[in-house]
């Protein structure tokens, strides 16, 4: 995408970086010369992710971290600084999600998603942000949202509320931390197929097809397309962008409601022609 390795020597920390989108972001960063740190709870995810990223020639550190535990994030940050001496980019990508009607959602499920997505993103941002501020290094944070943060979405009350909180966090930190040379941005992808999302959000082909019908572009994004947009926001080409949320959804959220008229535009044209014809005849 870029003509030179625009993240050369930079260190990027990606939560949930062993699977799905997180792993794809790590791969894009490594191709641009960055060293990457991936962290999550399951060591098997980390080992498989590390192998794939290393196969591109990238340097990778892995940490078993639960983003709900500030102590484990603090220890990871200290260890990265000891080994690599810097952190330039934090991507808050870790998330949990499942579809559940709001009136029946177990409070444990509500708390768990809020803890991972909202609290976890803040703990990571505060701990790594403090290092960026105190060391006078600056840096940047990218948060991964979903468009239901502002549209709402049935069955996603826990995730939608958590992501809406992270959108507010993105804008608040962008304003507070601009003076420290820290940019804070977000992306809101539409559906893209990963093993985790498939299991939890569209377990059948019928469900996947029903979701696809709602997307004006007529297909899901690929994780690579989403990761490339994140790469742009992380790059020097986006140096003056902060507090922004870049939507990558093939037009899906704009196509909601009245937007569906697009499927009937030709019917409108036929009606206009018929009306014109009958006017001429009378
Ligand atoms: P995924 O592969 O299931 O990614 C989720 C990652 O989060 C996993 O690597 C998981 O690793 C990690 N994780 C979960 N709980 C954690 C915790 N407490 N501490 C640390 N890590 C934790 O799913 P994905 O589809 O790539 O999703 C990535 C991001 O994109 C998420 O923020 C999601 O909300 C967002 N998104 C996805 C879609 C989509 O259609 N797929 C659409 C919009 C937004 P462990 O299990 O090893 O902890």
How confident is the model at residue 260, as a pLDDT?
Answer: 63
Nearest CA residue ID for atom 10, ligand 1: 16
- Which of 29, 63, 123, 148 is catalytic? The answer is 148
Rounded CA gap, 239 and 5, in Å?
Answer: 16
> What is the atom index within ligand 1 of the atom nearest the CA of 68?
18
Which residue's CA is minimally distant from atom 42 of ligand 1? 191
The per-residue pLDDT string of the chain (282 residues; one tens digit each, 9 = 90 and over) reads: 566 799 999 999 999 999 999 999 999 999 999 999 999 999 999 999 999 999 999 999 999 999 999 999 999 999 999 999 999 999 999 999 899 999 999 999 999 999 999 999 999 999 999 999 999 999 999 999 999 999 999 999 999 999 999 999 999 999 999 999 999 999 999 999 999 999 988 999 999 999 999 999 999 999 999 999 999 999 999 999 999 999 999 999 997 766 666 667 777 778 888 988 998 887
Residue 69 near residue 119 (C-beta atoms within 8 A): no
Residue 82: exposure state from Cβ atoms within 10 A (0-12, 13-18, ≥19): exposed
User: pLDDT value at position 269?
Assistant: 78
Does ligand 1 have an atom closer than 6 angstroms to the CB of 188? no
pLDDT given at position 270: 84
Rounded distance from Cα 150 to ligand 1 centre (Å):
20
Q: Give the strand pairing for 35-40 and 60-64.
A: parallel
Mark whether 148 is an active-site residue.
Answer: yes
DSSP characters over the chain: --SS-TTTT-EEEEETTTSHHHHHHHHHHHHTT-EEEEEES-HHHHHHHHHHHHTTT--EEEEE--TT-HHHHHHHHHHHHHHHS---EEEE---------GGG--HHHHHHHIIIIIIHHHHHHHHHHHHHHHTT--EEEEEE--THHHH--TT-HHHHHHHHHHHHHHHHHHHHHGGGTEEEEEEEE--B--HHHHHHH--SHHHHHHHHHT-TTSSPBPHHHHHHHHHHHHSGGGTT--S-EEEESTTTTTTSGGGGGGGGHHHHHHHHHHHHHHHHH-
Residue 89's DSSP bridge partners are 12, 140
Protein residue whose Cα sits closest to atom 27 of ligand 1: 21
Instruction: Report the nearest-CA residue for atom 28 of ligand 1.
Output: 21
What SS3 string covers 212-275? Answer: HHCCCCCCCECHHHHHHHHHHHHCHHHCCCCCCEEEECCCCCCCCHHHHHHHHHHHHHHHHHHH
Q: Is 40 in the pocket of ligand 1 (CB under 6 A)?
A: yes
pLDDT given for residue 261 in this prediction = 67
Say if CB 22 and CB 38 are below 8 A apart: yes
**Ranges of each domain in the chain:** 11-196+221-256
Residue to probe by mutation, ligand 1, list 165, 188, 197, most atoms within 8 Å of CB: 197
Give the residue, out of 94, 116, 247, with the most ligand 1 atoms within 8 A of its beta carbon, to mutate for a pocket test.
Answer: 94
Determine the distance separating the centroid of ligand 1 and the alpha carbon of 97, expressed in angstroms.
8
**CATH number, span 11-196+221-256:** 3.40.50.720
Cα radius of gyration rounded to whole Å, the chain: 21
Q: What is the pLDDT of residue 216?
A: 93
The response to whether residue 41 sits with its C-beta less than 6 Å from ligand 1 reads: yes
């Amino acid at each position: 995408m870029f003509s030179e390795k625009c993240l050369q020597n930079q260190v990027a920390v990606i939560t949930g970086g062993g699977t799905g989108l997180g792993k794809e972001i790590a791969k894009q960063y490594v191709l641009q010369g960055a060293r990457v740190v991936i962290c999550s709870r399951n060591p098997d995810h980390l080992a498989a992710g590390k192998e794939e990223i290393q196969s591109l020639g990238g340097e990778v550190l892995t940490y078993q971290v639960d983003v709900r535990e500030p102590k484990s994030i603090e220890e990871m940050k200290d260890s990265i600084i000891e080994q690599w001496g810097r952190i330039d980019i934090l991507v808050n990508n870790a998330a949990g999600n499942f579809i559940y009607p709001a009136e029946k959602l177990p409070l444990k499920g509500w708390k768990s998603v809020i803890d991972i997505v909202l609290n976890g993103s803040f703990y990571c941002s505060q701990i790594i942000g403090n290092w960026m501020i105190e060391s006078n290094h600056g840096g940047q944070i990218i948060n991964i949202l979903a468009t239901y943060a502002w549209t709402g979405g049935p069955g996603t009350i826990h995730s939608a509320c958590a992501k809406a909180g992270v959108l507010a966090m993105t804008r608040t930190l962008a304003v507070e931390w601009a003076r420290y040379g820290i940019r804070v941005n977000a992306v809101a992808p539409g559906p893209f197929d990963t093993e985790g999302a498939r299991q939890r959000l569209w377990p059948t082909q019928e469900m996947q097809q029903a979701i696809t019908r709602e997307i004006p572009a007529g297909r899901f994004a690929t994780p690579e397309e989403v990761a490339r947009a994140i790469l742009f926001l992380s790059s020097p080409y986006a140096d003056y962008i902060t507090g922004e949320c870049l939507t990558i959804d093939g037009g899906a959220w704009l196509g909601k409601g009245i937007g569906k008229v697009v499927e009937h535009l030709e019917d409108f044209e036929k009606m206009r022609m018929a009306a014109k014809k009958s006017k001429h005849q009378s």
